[in-house]
Structure 1
Amino acid sequence: MKKFTQSSIFIKLLIIQFLAIVYTCHGFDFFYFWPGSLCDAKRACCLPTSGKPATDFGIHGLWPTFNNGSYPANCNANSPFDGSKISDLTKELQVDWPSLTCPSTNSSKFWTHEWVKHGTCSESVLDQHAYFEANLNLKHSINLLGVLQLAGIQPNGKVYSLQSVRGAIKAGTGYTPVIECNLDASNNSQLYQVYLCVDKSGSKLIECPVLPKRKCASFIEFPSF
């Protein structure tokens, strides 16, 4: 009887550990969606081998995130990136989700990284094709560049108040963004990435349960694409 009890306890502990792993990898609460500038001006940038991408924000990724701001990563080693699964999206991805790292690439390394590190943690909701399609749909529906241009904020190297950029995005999308800045070659603060939050379906914007802390100056440059 004692052996049976110890065995039962051991099995229960294994089940608890398994469920904890499953929750950590798939029990996320929302997504961060990151439209990003195409090029970090302080670093070397190269056009992808597929050609010059659209004059627009690119995509950084769609990250499953917990309500406390932490996030799961690398959830399924048995689900590698498979370009054949998104072959119908490849041309669109090359335009809307390019990599400008050097040396020039066809951007698949970037997509691989985002799928393996973040996409695999959303597989309970989005398979590989649906994950990439969700990124594209969000980019098009938000139309971040159009939202800013409608407010007179252009990617022309001019300086705008951080408050006006944030306000324009809030007015255009209905939701509070987080603005991330970096420094250009002259150490001026410039618009780099925008964070918006998306529900667990990967399709609808929501107010962010937690806002990541990102630093920007009171006035920021909107670099030319």
Structure 2
Amino acid sequence: MAAARLSLSLLLVVLAVAAGQRAAAQDYDFFYLVLQWPGSYCDTKQSCCYPKSGKPPADFGIHGLWPNRDDGSYPQNCSPDNAFNPSKVSDLLSSLRAKWPTLACPSGDGHKFWGHEWEKHGTCAANVFDEHGYFQAALRLRDQLGVLAALTSNGVNPDGGYYTLRQIKGAIQDGTGFEPYVECNRDEAGNSQLYQLYFCVDAAGDSFVECPVLPSGRPCGNRIEFPAF
């Protein structure tokens, strides 16, 4: 009987250690895939700078793939020693320049932007992604959505016109199967404009899911400009 109790105690310790290791390995519940319209980034008082590779395509670019928790909090900077290494994504650089461009000033090659995203967010998903896998997953998920095509096929065009929040969400839902959280910013004249879209991805980084919690972004109102780029 004593041996059985000892075996049970050892089993409970092993299970507790394993649970602790899993918790440490995955300190998040889902991802936000955040896409950004470059025309809205640039059409502000702050303006923008095109990257050294030239003006990016007029399409939604990636801002980041961010691990988040169901309570609205998120981990960050999880492995300070795991710095961004461009050589690990050398085969992805042309895609990153086109689909994950930097628009910050002064003009850059993107390495600072990608490094920030990997070090702050990507390292917190090391249980499923190494550096290459993180960027590859974000590119794949972005391409899978086809957001701009979803909007334009439903008459929502980046031509400086104005649309309702319902039109924008409905067009994206119709074209992608998922309704995003829509974040707006303001142009120099103070008009609300379509800025960022948040989609939720499961904790494995594989599939889109309905968002368990919505981010706290700037409210859009109901007259939203979709500026040209």
Q: Same fold (TM over 0.5)?
A: yes
Match of 1:92 in 2: 95
Counterpart of 1:197, as a letter, is C
The amino acid of 1:70's aligned partner reads S
For 1:6, the equivalent position in structure 2 comes to none
The letter of the residue matching 1:110 is F
Contact kept in structure 1, 2:102 and 2:113, CA below 8 Å? yes
Tell me, in whole angstroms, the C-alpha distance in 1 between the residues paired with 2:160 and 2:226: 5
State the Cα distance separating 1:91 from its structure 2 match: 0.8
3-state secondary structure, aligned to 1:163 = helix
For 1:164 and 1:153, the matched residues in 2 are separated by 8
The correspondence for 1:41, drawn from 40, 43, 54, is: 43
Report deviation, 1:220: 0.1
Change (3 A) 1:213 1:24: farther
Equivalent position of 1:74 in the other structure = 77
Residue number in structure 2 paired with 1:199: 202
Ranges in structure 2 where 5+ consecutive residues have no aligned partner: 1-12
1:8 paired residue number: none
Q: Which residue of 111, 125, 128 corresponds with 2:128?
A: 125
Alpha-carbon distance in structure 2 between the residues aligned to 1:37 and 1:99? 12
User: 1:108: Cα distance to partner?
Assistant: 0.8
Gapped runs of 5+ residues in structure 1?
A: 1-11
Aligned-partner SS, 2:66: strand
Q: Match of 2:221?
A: 217
Give the deviation of 1:26 after TM superposition.
2.6
| Structure-to-structure mapping, 1:51-66, within 5 angstroms | 51-66=54-69
- Give the distance between the partners of 2:55 and 2:79, measured in 1 at CA: 33
Cα distance between partner residues in 2 of 1:197 and 1:147: 17
Counterparts of 2:95 and 2:166, CA distance in 1:
32
Amino acid of the residue matched to residue 219 of structure 1?
R
Identical-residue share of aligned pairs (%): 47
The alignment's TM-score, normalised by the length of structure 2, stands at 0.87
Distance 1:87 1:198 in 2: 25
Equivalences, count: 210
